[in-house]
Amino acid sequence: MTQDTGPDDGGDPERGGEVRPVTGDAPQVLSGAEAPAVRHLVSIDDVSIEEMHALFRLADRFASDPRAFADTCPGFISASLFYEPSTRTRLSFESAMLRLGGGVLTAAEMTSSSVVKGESLADTIRVVGGGYADAIVLRHPSEGAARLAARYSPVPVINAGDGSLEHPTQTLCDLYNLHVERGKIEGLDVVLAGDLKYSRTVHSFAYALARFGANIVCVPQAGLELPDYVVERLHEEFQVEPMRADARRLGNLASNSDAVYLTPQKPHQLSLFTDARGWEVQSVDAVYMTRPQTERHSGSELTDTTYLRLEKRAMAAESLRDAVVMHPLPRRDEISDEVDADPRSIYFKQAARGVPIRMAILSWLLGRVPLESAGEPHGQQASYGVPMGPNPCPNPSCISRTETRHAEPRFTILEREPLRVACAYCTRELSHAVIGCSRSRIFHAPEAGTIRLILPEHLVFFEDEEAALGAGFRPAASLAGH
């Protein structure tokens, strides 16, 4: 979670000072003096489980009568900065802000902005957050862009999708739909189907489902499986155990897919499970379909032109009898039109519910409505700058590679001994052949125990010994004769 001190409202009603009290079942509106410090919504990790439940309850109240809350955010303005196309996310955020009584600024086509003149994302954020708007809703093609924006913004930054990394507000919308349709999220069995490699909605959704203790059945399009770094994080942070799944009971939906079962709940049972066909999927509570994210494909991912498709006959499978069908939209041909009439299909309701959940998000982050319960978010680890040498992040789509002026390389520590680190922006694990200390100018082998004595801010990563020597570092005694 990223926190900064926000500007003093000074009692100005246009900036959140005195407001009319709201009566009845309406949420309590905070005065400017009570408003909390600025919070950003960059990752689904920035919201605790307790806060999610509180947001769902708040969204329920907004959904009961969306027109009744125009006195919640009067005088407040949100800015939509969309470097990529969007329909539902942008319009639902703007609808949400207008229904709360605020205003909106829209830059939906950034190719007509100062970006074409070479303005950096960091400078754009500082300008827009410096007086134009009270919140920034950002969509950007580079992974980690929202994290960078939060470092420079004096107002809340809301990640509306950054590359293939995360889309936390879509995740909150998806979770809210499960809350409405199923009454709970804990313990549910959810199928994620389609392009699991590049879908940022899938990545955020998978992390959140794991935190809630739900079980995930991955039914990927061939070649578009869940990335290793997502699976590794699910395993390391949420104790999720991946294993092969026997998904024959899902019928045509999984007939041409190597399904994987991910569960945080049954490690002991799974350790005793020896069926070569995999864990048998009996029934599921929801099917979450995704389109092929062709705008992120390199051109070789879809070797087979037949993409997964959910049709009426697939919905006849006994295991899907009680499953709701979800989709973040837009769709192509992955859900047949004939499925629209099925009462289990909720994807258009899912899109509509994006407005009340985003009303809840905005009113909360703007400090206008307190949540009934807080709890500690999963949180963002402390990050450190890379003091010298080349950018160690291997991800060409990382904001630290696409915006070099203000996105200096930064890392977080995954494990201290042996040392494992990740890019602070895109979360990819960093590889390094040797590790140096910027104070001593000595480099060590990655497995050297002496590395634990180096302060994080003095760590330097090199791809090989030659690079370290070229930077003026000398080898440790253990490497001197190597």
Task: Give domain 3-165+354-365's CATH architecture.
Answer: 3-Layer(aba) Sandwich (3.40)
Residue 19's pLDDT is: 35
Question: pLDDT 10s per residue in the chain (482 long)?
Answer: 444 333 333 333 333 333 333 334 556 555 444 445 789 999 998 999 999 999 999 999 999 999 999 999 999 999 999 998 888 889 999 999 999 999 999 987 665 455 555 788 999 999 999 999 999 999 999 999 999 999 999 999 999 999 888 889 999 999 999 999 999 999 899 999 989 988 888 988 999 999 999 989 888 888 888 888 888 888 888 888 787 777 777 777 776 667 888 887 555 455 544 455 566 777 889 999 998 887 767 766 655 567 888 888 888 888 888 899 999 888 888 888 999 999 999 999 999 999 999 999 999 999 999 887 666 666 567 888 877 667 788 899 999 999 878 888 899 998 887 888 999 999 888 888 889 999 999 999 888 888 889 999 999 988 889 989 999 999 987 665 55
Pull the structure tokens for residue 396.
């060409």
Query: At which residue do the structure tokens 């080349």 appear?
Result: 390
Checking phi first, is residue 131 left (phi over 0); if not, alpha (psi -120 to 50) or beta? left
What are the residue numbers of the active site? 88-89, 117, 139, 167
What is the torsion angle, in degrees rounded to the nearest 10, for the CA atoms of residue 293, residue 42, residue 171 and residue 360?
Answer: -140
Give the orientation angle of helix 168-182 with respect to helix 88-99, to 10 degrees: 80
Options 3.40.50.300, 2.30.30.20, 3.10.129.10, 2.30.30.30; CATH for 383-480 is 2.30.30.20
Options 3.10.20.310, 3.30.110.40, 3.40.50.1370, 1.10.3720.10; CATH for 169-345 is 3.40.50.1370
Whole-number Å distance between alpha carbons of 313 and 118 = 52
Residue 24's pLDDT is: 40
Give the orientation angle of helix 168-182 with respect to helix 200-212, to 10 degrees: 50
Q: Which residues of the chain are in CATH 3.40.50.1370 domains? A: 3-165+354-365, 169-345
Distance of CA 401 to the CA centre of its chain: 20
Instruction: Report the residue count for the chain.
Output: 482
Enumerate residues 6+ apart whose C-beta is below 8 A from 329: 88, 347, 350, 351
Q: Which residues of the chain are in CATH 2.30.30.20 domains? A: 383-480
Residue 399's pLDDT is: 95
Query: At which residue do the structure tokens 């998000």 appear?
Result: 361
Whole-number Å distance between alpha carbons of 190 and 177 = 13
**Backbone phi and psi for residue 358, each to the nearest 5 degrees, phi listed first:** -80, -25
Among residues 474, 375, 461, which one has the least CA distance to residue 413?
A: 461
Residue 288's pLDDT is: 94
Pull the structure tokens for residue 251.
């019928």
